Structure 1
Amino acid sequence: MSRALTHDHYKVLGVGREATPAQIRAAFLRRAKQWHPDRNPSPRATEAFQLLNRAYATLRDPDARSRFDRQLDLCRPSRPMYGHPRDIAARMRSRASFGTREEGHRHWAYVGLHLTGILFSTVLFTGTVTGIALNGWPAYLLVFSLPGLTVVPESWNAIRSK
């Protein structure tokens, strides 16, 4: 019973969860005629017909149907958590759909990222200069910390413009 659900038998037969046994039987017969391998030359016909048979066998038996319904309830959230990727992208593009809380989190994540860059490059440069001045490190080590300083003006401008 711990087997994961791979197909929703109701969708396979094209009926709702509230369908009566007569509706399930009628849907099975209709789809069986459509997908029977003797009538349908499609290479997927055999697989589809077997899937139809499994769905009908489960839904026509009241005990098996009730077990399937319980399993379906466990596997399926009460409401969809995520929509279609196009819908999500449309909501993300729509500034009105985001509340001030999400925008605030996003803003501070952006600022935090740039402040981290400024802090890292400044500490790296300061540590290198301190090591050269106080510990006698070779001066060429300064060359390795200079590229990090290019991050500082870019990050500072990004924070100020936001």
Structure 2
Amino acid sequence: MNLPNTITEIKANAFQYCRALASISIPNSVISIGDYAFSDCSALTSIRIPESVTTIGAGIVTGCTNLTEIQVEAGNPAYSAVDNILYDKEQTTLIQCLPSKTSVSLPATVTVIGSSAFNNCTGLTSITLPQSLTTIGDRAFSLCIYNHRTTKTNQKYPSVNL
């Protein structure tokens, strides 16, 4: 889908549950992408954030199970993407993780995991958090299904190892 160049804002939940949406071209006229704008667009395979975007809400690609790539244009003054994880430009705030990621090791620069950043990352089995981390936002790990094993060390108090 190609959006017209007259669009400056993509309102919250604008394309939520558009399960047939496989691709979208965000024009350089867009400066703001609202919360959950593309969430649960299960056919969406990639998203490119143009240079013009200076505001991104929470959970923009939550539940996009076929998403394989998050890109940010190099000239964007506010955001960056590294290893398919969306950060602010300085990589101090993690905004959104690719929902299909299974293992994540965050850089030492990260101090904040934003709201809904890992929401619905059902394949996530391993995450390494840096010592610099100070804040984990609302619903940051909501609906994550961890693969875990339960070891019964005694029948009364089982021990769960994630």
TM-score range with shorter-chain normalisation? Answer: under 0.3
Structure having the larger proportion of residues in helix: 1
TM score, norm. by length of structure 2: 0.18
Structure having the larger proportion of residues in strand: 2
Q: Which structure exhibits the higher relative contact order, with contacts defined as CA atoms closer than 8 Å and separated by 6 or more residues?
A: 1
User: Rg: which structure is higher?
Assistant: 1
